[in-house]
Amino acid sequence: MFKPLWIFAVTFAGAGLAAGADSGPAGEDVAPAALKAYAAMNYTQAGKLAKQIPDTPEGQSVGGLCDLYDRSHQDIERGQQVLAGLFRNEKTPLSYRVEAGVSLGRTSQLMKERRDLYGDSADRYDHVEILEGVRKLAPGSRADRDAFFYLIRERLEDPKLAEAAFKDLEAYFRDFKGDKKLLPPVHLLAEYEYIRLRRDYKSAVRHLMEGYEIGFANPNENRSGLFRLAFLYYKKLDDKPMAVKYFNEYLTRYPYSGQAVVARRFLQELGEDGAKK
């Protein structure tokens, strides 16, 4: 059977055919399409659709976020203004409100860390208050986790706040009521900061183990985390049975990795009865 389109194209080869203009959704379908395009990081399409529904929370939210993150059409000031409006408006649906808060808070925080580039233009937003506000609006949620993650790193950086920040970190894990699967990235941060600021390997390993037991999402992190767990037990905590346990687990799970040969060497050093020592 013939393919008419192909025959047409061959017959008029060289003339070129104009591709059909982009056609988008209409009416009620625009808002979901804009959100879907934004979720797929297709900022051009998302921004275009958002402009069609400027008076809706979806349109404002997607438009504001595109202003912040679409590097080809970035307008940070406008984006932050829109998001600040959404965040402060109690009538804004909760999901758009918390996302506006996290994005506004985080971008303001990043801008303050780069005063050489942004000057004081983000000072009009109190990012700590905004991110704390997000946490109160949606405790135990993913947005709460993200806001806490960004805030705690900043507090740990400040020597005056670090002591209290470590207490807050432990309290966060203790009091967390949400889905535990959200926690591994925070455990990973806790592990790092306990070593960096205190050389407290006991607490670091505790967090690494908790994160590992729940499961890191990045397969690379899961692999290196397991090796690190065994290594820290061996070299820093001198807990040989735990080191043997996790080196063996590493060899079972990742026999083809480069670190496998090192795990074997450490197991040899630990001896056959390393687990009993």
Check residue 73 for interaction with another protein (CB under 8 A): no
Taking CB under 8 A as the rule, does residue 17 contact another protein? Answer: no
Helices (H), strands (E): how many in the chain? 15, 0
Establish if 264 lies at the interface with another protein (CB under 8 A).
yes
Query: For residue 182, what are its two tokens?
Result: 């959200």
Q: Is the separation of the CB atoms in 233 and 246 below 8 Å?
A: yes
Residues of span 161-180 touching another protein by CB under 8 A: none
Which of 256/273 has CB closer to another protein?
Answer: 256
Using CB under 8 A, count the residues that bind another protein: 72
- Structural element, H or E, at residue 242: helix 240-253
Q: At its nearest, how many Å lie between another protein and the CB of residue 188?
A: 5
> Which run of H or E residues covers position 88?
helix 76-88
Phi-psi region of 14 (alpha: psi -120 to 50; beta: other; left: phi over 0): left
Q: Of 142, 198, 206, 245, which lies in the binding site for another protein, with binding defined by CB under 8 A? A: 142
Judged by CB under 8 A, the residue of 68, 226, 244, 270 near another protein is 68
Helix (H) or strand (E) holding 6: helix 4-11
Contact status: 144 vs another protein (CB under 8 A)? no
Helices (H), 158-218: 159-175, 184-193, 201-214
86 near 96, Cβ under 8 Å? yes
**CA–CA dist 89, 266 (Å, integer):** 58
Residue labelled with tokens 């580039």? 117
Per-residue mark of binding to another protein, 76-115 (x: CB under 8 A) = -------------------x---x--xx--xx--x--xx-
Tell me which residues in 121-140 interact with another protein (CB under 8 A): none
Of residues 221-250, those binding another protein (CB under 8 A): 221, 223-224, 227-228, 231-232, 235
Residue 106: CB minimum distance to another protein, A: 5
76 vs 275 by CB, closer to another protein: 76
Binding mask 184-203 for another protein (x = CB under 8 A): xx--xx--x--xx--x----
